[in-house]
Amino acid sequence: MTPIILWLLDRFRSLFQTMGADYDQLRAIVQVKLMMDNRRSIVTLGRYGKQSAETNNSFIRILGIYMLVGALSR
């Protein structure tokens, strides 16, 4: 999932640069954030300590929550 998100981010590189962002730093921050989201155990959205296919579902849920909060904050 992480490579797909980074690939999509790369497609909008010129847009971010037009807005004045340092794209290399932005991509590095997003890449580290996605790595950290994939590695931590999310207690609030799943059962603590349970390892299964639900891990991917919780990651997708978190991305959805981030998108919702981001859309509402604009």
Look up the domain containing 53 and give its range: 2-73
Cα–Cα distance measured from residue 10 to residue 7, given in angstroms and rounded to the nearest whole number: 5
Confidence of residue 11 (pLDDT cuts 50, 70, 90): very high
Q: Give pLDDT, residue 60.
A: 83
CB-based burial label for 67 (10 Å; 0-12, 13-18, 19+): exposed
Check: CB of residue 35 under 8 Å from CB of residue 2.
Answer: yes
pLDDT digit string, tens, across residues 13-68:
999 999 999 999 999 999 998 888 777 555 555 555 555 555 567 788 888 888 88
Query: Angle at Cα 35 formed by Cα 10 and Cα 4, nearest 5°?
Result: 35
Q: Give pLDDT, residue 14.
A: 94
Domain count, the chain: 1
DSSP state of 21: -
Check: CB of residue 38 under 8 Å from CB of residue 5.
Answer: no
